[in-house]
């Protein structure tokens, strides 16, 4: 485990289902404020118990998805490559993200205009390679641009199922050579590429994928995820990881779970940065 796992979160003070930009969101299925706060707090407490330092982004009225800090940026050392959100509903977040990163000692950088990119939601290191999800929210050229900036190999993966619209909903590196994934979220080429590049792949079932099994937070050998994923928990245990589940149903109503609610600021445990 890295020395001081540091995680950015944003309290759900202004969280809610105010628009519909993915198949999980329905304005007719509102989130429960009290329960959302309770679930968020339980995740926060669990991450602290596992030894992380949690930094907070101030919540902003009118930006209900700001809680999903994974989308704020891709972090590489002290550089924060800021999101360029596909949907107007989330574009107002970037100014707040940029201010937070600048104020907290990161160097915020924008991608070139015309390249949509949704931060760590769609770009995940596994070892030295940057895996990128594209088509639904991020553009493939954005991944190539980032890899050229960073000087790392990039593997673009087309996302083919609207329910798994960000890479972190269907792929989760747990160490530099192992990852969780949901095979039907990728095309044949993507599945073959993953098999060729990641030596240990744990596939999750349809029902556990829909419980956001792949949307897990890795802290050393600990893996934090939503409840309802017993098969994945057993598979992780066999690989020497300790799973911790915590109910996050109020956030699944917006299409997010544990991983989406966090952004590792010091580098994921699975990342080997050039």
Q: Which residues are catalytic?
A: 166, 260
- Which residues, other chains included, contact 94 with Cβ-Cβ below 8 Å and sequence gap of 6+? 82, 83, 84, 85
**CA gap 135, 61 in Å, rounded:** 29
Number of residues that bind ligand ARG (CB under 6 A): 16
**CA gap 54, 34 in Å, rounded:** 21
Residues 60-89: x/- map of binding to ligand ARG (CB under 6 A)? -----x--x-xx------------------
CB atoms within 10 A of CB 54: 16
Which range touches ligand ARG (CB under 6 A), out of 27-35, 73-81, 91-99, 250-258? Answer: 250-258
**Residues 5-44 interacting with ligand ARG (rule: CB under 6 A):** 21-22, 25
In this complex, which beta carbon is closest to ligand ARG, that of residue 17 or of residue 50? 17
What's the min distance (Å) between Cβ of 199 and ligand ARG? Answer: 25
Check residue 158 for interaction with ligand ARG (CB under 6 A): no
Check if the beta carbon of residue 198 is closer than 8 Å to that of residue 159: no
In this complex, which beta carbon is closest to ligand ARG, that of residue 61 or of residue 196? 61
**CA gap 149, 172 in Å, rounded:** 23
Q: What's the gap between Cα 263 and its chain centre?
A: 7
What's the min distance (Å) between Cβ of 255 and ligand ARG? Answer: 4
Nearest to 257 by CA among 160, 182, 146, 156: 182
**Alpha-helical regions (H) of the chain:** 33-49, 88-91, 93-103, 140-150, 188-197, 206-209, 230-238, 249-252
Chosen residue from 43, 256, 265, 269 binding ligand ARG by CB under 6 A = 256
In this complex, which beta carbon is closest to ligand ARG, that of residue 27 or of residue 192? 27
Check if the beta carbon of residue 143 is closer than 8 Å to that of residue 185: no
Which range touches ligand ARG (CB under 6 A), out of 46-54, 153-161, 165-173, 193-201? Answer: 165-173
**Residues 190-249 interacting with ligand ARG (rule: CB under 6 A):** none
In this complex, which beta carbon is closest to ligand ARG, that of residue 65 or of residue 269? 65
DSSP β-ladder status, 154-158 and 129-134:
parallel
Which range touches ligand ARG (CB under 6 A), out of 40-48, 216-224, 236-244, 252-260? Answer: 252-260
Q: Which residues bind ligand ARG (CB under 6 A)?
A: 21-22, 25, 65, 68, 70-71, 90, 121, 166, 168-169, 254-256, 260
């Amino acid at each position: 485990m890295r020395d001081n796992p540091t995680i950015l979160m944003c309290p759900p003070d202004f969280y809610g289902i105010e628009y519909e930009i993915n198949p999980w969101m329905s304005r007719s299925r509102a989130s429960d404020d009290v329960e959302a706060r309770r679930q968020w707090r339980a995740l926060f407490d669990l991450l602290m118990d596992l030894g992380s330092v949690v930094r907070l982004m101030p919540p902003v009225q009118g930006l209900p998805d700001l809680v999903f800090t994974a989308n704020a940026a891709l972090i590489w050392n002290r550089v924060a490559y800021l999101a360029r959100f596909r949907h107007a509903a989330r574009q107002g977040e970037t100014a707040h993200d940029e201010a937070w990163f600048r104020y907290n000692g990161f160097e915020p950088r924008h991608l070139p205009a015309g390249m949509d990119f949704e931060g760590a939601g769609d770009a995940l290191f596994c070892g030295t390679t940057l895996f990128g999800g594209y088509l639904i929210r991020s553009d493939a050229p954005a991944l190539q641009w980032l890899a050229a900036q960073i000087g790392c190999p990039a593997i673009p993966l087309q996302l083919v199922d609207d329910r798994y619209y960000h890479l972190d909903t269907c792929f989760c590196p747990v160490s530099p050579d192992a990852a969780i994934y949901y095979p039907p979220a990728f095309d044949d080429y993507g599945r073959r590429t993953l098999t060729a590049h990641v030596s240990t792949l744990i596939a999750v079932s349809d029902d556990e994928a829909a419980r956001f099994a792949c949307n897990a937070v890795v802290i050393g050998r600990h893996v934090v995820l939503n409840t309802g994923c017993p098969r994945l928990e057993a598979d992780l245990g066999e690989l020497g990881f300790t799973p911790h589940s915590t109910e996050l149903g109020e956030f699944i109503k917006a299409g997010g779970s544990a991983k989406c609610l966090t952004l590792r600021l010091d580098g994921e445990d699975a990342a080997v940065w050039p």
